[in-house]
Amino acid sequence: MTPIARNRAIGPVLAFALFGADQWLKGYVTGPLGIDRIGDVMDLLPIFALRYTENPGISLGMFSATSDAMRWGLVAVTGTIALIVTVWMMRERKLADIVPLALILGGALGNIRDRVQFGYVIDFADLHFGDFRPFMIFNLADAAISIGVVLLLARALLVREKPTHTADETRAETQ
């Protein structure tokens, strides 16, 4: 297997592993831990609690799906985005480009499954400092999407690939 094929194989494996971990964790929180109704809370640390909530929208609760048509519209839009991310990921060659896309894809699939199954996304992770919450309540899928986007942006803004040829070599090849 070539290094590029290996990298491309890692992407879907990572995405599906993340999807599985997200679904397992949501099931564990709402099943054995019994945090399955709005308002249910389990304090784990002074700054972190498991707090059940249902998110009918997308990022930061925007575009709340208040009807079945809106719900399925969100499923269609996020499904289309997931498909685009999949194609993009499979076209990349470098693991540093594939991993962030796999994080985004795995997270998107986890949240899409929730929306299809329940009509909303289950969120439960509550990072807080007293009453200050730097993030809304989230889940593993949300965290993976956010980390993937930050990694993509950092790579796009900070990492410059070195050209394989110098300007003089390029000019000599075209003459």
Instruction: Give me the active site residues, please.
Output: 123, 142
Whether residue 121 contacts residue 114, with contact meaning beta carbons closer than 8 Å, is answered with yes
Residue with tokens 């090849």: 173
Residue 28, helix vs strand vs coil:
helix
Q: Which residues pair with 127 in a beta bridge?
A: 48
Long-range contacts of 126-134 (CB under 8 A, 24+ apart): 126/41, 126/48, 126/49, 126/50, 126/51, 127/47, 127/48, 128/47, 128/48, 128/49, 129/47
